[in-house]
A and B are shown apart, each in its own frame.
Chain A
Amino acid sequence: MKLNLKIWRQKDAGSKGKMMDYTIDGIDGDMSFLEMMDVLNEDLINKGEEPIEFDHDCREGICGSCSLQINGEPHGPDRLVTTCQLHMRKFSDGDTIVIEPFRAKAFPVIKDLIVDRSAFDRIQQAGGYISINTSGNTQDANSIPIEKENADDAFYAAACIGCGACVAACKNASAMLFTSAKVSQYALLPQGQVEATERVQNMVRQMDLEGFGNCTNTGACEVECPKGISLENIARMNREYLAANIKG
């Protein structure tokens, strides 16, 4: 498979970047998107050019490291997969693929396709934890009964890998889906009730401070999320936030 690639190149955070054209040949449909990028980088290194920087780690779709806006969509045209799990069979010979970093003021570009997603870490640090000591005195899992529906919803919310596709997809660069998943995974469980009020207030405050946009309920985040995080989490966070502020 022969492909034309338009890729964002940027020397460092302070430099102005630009789209550059590359042509690549011999790509197999069974390769992952990142393997295609590896082949391109091999070519560049062999030619004495600087390889293209991009984030990746597990390459199993569970770590949340890989990103990339591919042909205008985070993690590309496939659904419920990260970029590392996107296969080249989704493209055709002669296709032009536009590859850009996730764009948001709160996700500044560090180099080429790598963005700084530490804003998510700071949101998590603002309240995404419980103060109950679980080390050394772990209780039996069934000692606190939890409704199946709540346990399932908490689990689904906790499946968020914090990749930032929700922000990248949203026309407002809003981080509501991420933040709401992190709020929900605790809000649904009894262990999360101790800090419930402060958690949602602090995490939303941090989310706003980071410069993310506002949710306008377009639903783009839910469609593009590789883990299928539901918009129900955003409604739940809104409820939690309103309740927390009414309580004062």
Chain B
Amino acid sequence: MSGLLKSSIARKVVMALSGLFLVFFLGQHFVINITSVIAPDTFNSWSHFMGYNPLVQYILQPILIAGVIVHFVMGIGLELQNNRARSVKYAKYKGSANASWISRNMIITGLVVLAFLGLHMYDFWVHEMAYKYIEANPEDPTRYYEETVYKFEPIWRTVLYILAFVLLAMHLLHGFASSFQTMGVNNKYSPAIQTFTKIYAIAIPLGFAFIAIYHHLNPITH
């Protein structure tokens, strides 16, 4: 198995599978978050379920964190290996002639998304862990909507989130479709798959950006 994981194709498959898992997670994350705009009570009850259900907390959450770590560590490893494969660089390299900027700079968009994840974890996950396990507050199924809206009150955070969503869309535009090619899917269905991945890559981050802007423009006033 360790021998197999040294193979370039096996590593790429790990990247593709972890990426597809994260894409799927992103979709369900969006479905929950959009309820904060259209049905705050539903948002509260779903968030409470996610925050206190043992299966979500002790099984799915660690799997998700592992997925992010695997995708990041493997991505960095492949990037370093790829850099070593051309130790003497070209004096003139016209990458734009044959490949898109997005496909050539996944490491940049990926690292920005990772940096955003740091801020995002600090904003929500660290706060949530402290609320539940350090401060040991009692369960309050009605707090999530207000907490979320409050987070988007400062313009700087809203802008940073939107910027991250733009970079996320760029990352997904190449990565989502690319994962199918890596898994060996390149057939008559590929144009349809490509179209779906591109719509998803733009629609989901756009939706997240909409949620952030909506909450920024509609603060809770007491």
Using CB atoms and an 8 Å cutoff, list the residues of chain A in contact with chain B: 6, 8, 19, 69, 71-73, 77, 98, 100, 103-106, 109, 169, 171-174, 176, 204-205, 207-208, 211-220, 223-224, 231-232, 234-239, 241-242, 245
* Whole-angstrom CA separation of A237 from B6 in the bound complex: 17
Q: Nearest-CB distance from B81 to chain A (Å)? A: 6
Q: Give the most central of B4, B84, B92, B181: most A CB within 10 Å.
A: B92
Can you offer 13 A-B residue contacts whose CB atoms are under 8 A? A8-B91, A72-B93, A72-B94, A72-B95, A204-B9, A212-B85, A214-B11, A216-B82, A217-B103, A220-B95, A234-B181, A235-B185, A238-B181
Total contacts A to B, CB within 8 angstroms? 132
Q: Which residues of A contact B85 (CB under 8 A)?
A: 104-106, 172-174, 211-213
Interface residues as binary, B82-104 with A (CB distance below 8 Å gives 1, 0 otherwise): 10111111111111011110011
Is B82 within 8 A of A218, CB to CB? no
Is A217 within 8 A of B8, CB to CB? no
Q: Nearest-CB distance from A203 to chain B (Å)? A: 11
- Number of contact residues on B: which range applies? 35 or more
Q: Nearest-CB distance from B204 to chain A (Å)? A: 21
Interface residues as binary, B56-90 with A (CB distance below 8 Å gives 1, 0 otherwise): 00000000000000000000001001101111111
Is A239 within 8 A of B184, CB to CB? yes
With A171-B82, A224-B98 known to touch, is A216 a contact of B90 (CB < 8 Å)?
no
Kindly state whether residue B34 has any CB partner on chain A within 8 Å.
no
Q: Give the most central of B7, B8, B88: most A CB within 10 Å.
A: B8
Q: Which residues of A contact B103 (CB under 8 A)?
A: 216-219
Is B100 within 8 A of A218, CB to CB? yes
Nearest 4 A/B pairs, CB to CB = A72-B94, A213-B85, A239-B184, A235-B186
* Whole-angstrom CA separation of A215 from B13 in the bound complex: 11
Q: Nearest-CB distance from B158 to chain A (Å)? A: 32
